[in-house]
């Protein structure tokens, strides 16, 4: 069994963590489920994230929560050290790395597949060296050339999310002729920069960027038309968890639902995305979304089974009709 003494933040002066379980295998991108939508658990190591800022701001609480999500069924743990909520201030790379690097190391040691949520190529490089297997970047149309070069060099899976501007300005950048078609086009344009640098197509995952430079109605239009994003040909990740447009939908007595009161609505969007065959969802409440993904996957199996039976019946009917036609 792994020893907690080897995990950062688990010495005698720190609070206890859940015991690390013996690893039977190390999670890798290639071993992710292929029969259902993948669930990525959100781990914000920040004091100011919109939903849980400060909840996991210490090393012990961050590692503990990451382990709970991992042992609770999360396929990927997405570790971030910079809030990307609207209006959030930038965090310098050194501070971001101080917050997340020990967490990434501990979770990777436990056998989890770790993603790093960062806009900075230097942080992404250190995270890969520490055991992260995926880079999740919200930079969108403003992705830095150094990040493109890093992904081309390392050939690690990378989430290309659609966004415009930074956290302080994105709410003013919601002008679209057709939000679905414009997002697809802008994703394709940025994607070509990665391809031109030598990044392999199977390493890119696209994300329509729900809530990033989109208003509530635009978010709903994107969710209703995820098939257009999927037509780009890449895996698709969707992140709706606890976002403002869900809070607005759940308004009671003129008051929007608080972020932590939006988990049921989030799991509903997981089921709807999974029913469209979407590759992955990024959520705070892992258990509910894993269940929702399993339900949607089973529904898709039922649909495919019926389609296969109908095809067999049509084929059998055509075979029976052929001799009759030949006799005429």
Provide the annotated active-site residues. 243, 282
CA–CA gap between residue 230 and residue 212 (Å, rounded): 19
Q: Are the C-beta atoms of 115 and 136 separated by less than 8 Å?
A: yes
- 35, two tokens: 């029969």
Strand 114-117 relative to strand 158-161: parallel, antiparallel, unpaired?
A: unpaired
- Strands of the chain (E only): list them: 38-44, 76-80, 114-117, 134-137, 158-161, 204-207, 235-238, 280-283
173: exposed, middle or buried (Cβ count in 10 Å: 0-12, 13-18, 19+):
middle
The answer for residues whose C-beta is within 8 angstroms of residue 313's C-beta and 6 or more apart is: none
Nearest Cα to 144, choosing from 119, 116, 173, 117? 119
CA–CA gap between residue 27 and residue 299 (Å, rounded): 27
Q: Residues 215, 41, 295, 276: what is their CA dihedral angle, to the nearest 10 degrees? A: 40
CA–CA gap between residue 80 and residue 28 (Å, rounded): 19
């Amino acid at each position: 069994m792994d020893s907690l003494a080897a995990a950062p933040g688990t010495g005698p002066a720190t609070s206890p963590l859940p015991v690390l379980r013996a690893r039977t295998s190390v999670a890798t991108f290639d071993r992710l489920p292929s029969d259902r939508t993948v669930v990525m658990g959100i781990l914000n190591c920040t004091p100011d994230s919109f939903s849980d800022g400060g909840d996991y701001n210490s090393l012990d609480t961050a590692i503990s929560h990451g382990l709970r999500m991992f042992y609770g069924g999360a396929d990927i743990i997405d570790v971030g050290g910079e809030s990307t909520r609207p209006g959030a201030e930038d965090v310098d790379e050194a501070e971001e790395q101080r917050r997340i690097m020990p967490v990434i190391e501990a979770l990777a040691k436990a056998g989890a597949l770790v993603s790093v949520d960062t806009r900075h190529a230097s942080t992404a490089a250190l995270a890969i060296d520490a055991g992260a297997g995926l880079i999740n970047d919200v930079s969108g149309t403003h992705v830095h050339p150094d990040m493109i070069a890093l992904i081309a060099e390392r050939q690690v899976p990378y989430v290309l999310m659609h966004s415009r501007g930074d956290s302080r300005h994105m709410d003013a950048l919601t002008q679209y002729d057709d939000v679905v078609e414009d997002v697809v086009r802008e994703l394709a344009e940025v994607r070509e920069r990665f391809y031109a640098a030598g990044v392999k197509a199977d390493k890119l995952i696209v994300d329509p960027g729900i809530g990033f430079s989109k208003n509530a109605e635009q978010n709903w239009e994107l969710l209703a038309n995820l098939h257009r994003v999927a037509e780009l040909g890449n895996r698709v990740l969707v992140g709706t968890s606890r976002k403002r447009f869900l809070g607005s939908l759940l308004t009671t007595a003129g008051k929007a639902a608080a972020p932590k009161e939006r988990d049921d609505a989030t799991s509903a969007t997981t089921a709807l995305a999974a029913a469209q065959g979407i590759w992955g969802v990024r959520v705070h409440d892992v258990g509910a979304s894993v269940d929702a993904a399993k339900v949607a996957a089973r529904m898709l199996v039922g649909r495919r089974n019926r389609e296969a039976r109908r095809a067999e019946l049509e084929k059998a009917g055509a075979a029976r009709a052929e001799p009759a036609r030949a006799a005429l």
